Amino acid sequence: MASRGNRPINLPPPYLRRVWLEPSRIADRVAGVPPGIPPDYLSHSHGEGFLRFFEERCQQQGIFIFDEPESAQSPARQIEFLKLMRRMEASQNCQIIIATHSPMLMAYPGATLLGLTKYGLEPMTVEQTGHYKIMREFYDDPARFAKAAIADEQASADARATEDMARGRV
């Protein structure tokens, strides 16, 4: 436990300070929030803390660029994030740019979806994305999907072992 003046501060483990606390402090400095004890995002689950962070920071004018905001979000929290995006849009004072792997976030109504291809950025629909196709295949038959994914891994391992034996590495 560290202290600031006569007030104790419960610091998260070092890996969380790098991953979560430091970016939130940087965001505070950029937003002009005076230094001091940071908001208590860490007493929430990882996903709840991220959602709370976004809700508190996205109430103002600006361009918001999110890199994989779904990374800490369960499907239910992604729905809450969609609602937050709707409130941001309704405020008419911000622009949102998101890099995401989440078909749920990609499906935001009226969003312009661009996919990064070997030819550059190209417009596409959610259904055209690889992420959607993988999730659709999973939802069609979860057990078959998992079994095939595991079999693919075993086949890859077997191929590597055969190649190593052929090269005399074993």
Rounded CA-CA distance 149/146 in Å is 5
Higher pLDDT, 135 or 15: 135
- 143 belongs to a structural domain: yes
Print the domain residue range for 160: 129-170
Write down the pLDDT at residue 119. Answer: 92
- 166 belongs to a structural domain: yes
Write down the pLDDT at residue 18. Answer: 47
- 94 belongs to a structural domain: no
- 136 belongs to a structural domain: yes
Give the C-alpha distances (Å, rounded to integers) separating 76 from 46, 47, 130: 14, 10, 22
- Joined tokens for residue 54: 């976004």
103: Cβ contacts below 8 Å, ≥ 6 apart: 126, 129, 131, 132, 135
pLDDT tens-place string over residues 102-122: 999 999 999 999 998 899 999
Rounded CA-CA distance 113/41 in Å is 31
- 124 belongs to a structural domain: no
- 144 belongs to a structural domain: yes
Contact 122, 114 (CB under 8 A): yes
DSSP-based three-state secondary structure for 17: helix
Q: What is the pLDDT averaged over residues 90-98?
A: 88
- 162 belongs to a structural domain: yes
pTM for this entry: 0.64
pLDDT tens-place string over residues 19-70: 444 555 555 565 665 666 555 555 556 667 777 777 777 777 888 888 898 8
- 115 belongs to a structural domain: no
Domain count, the chain: 1
Size of the chain in residues: 170
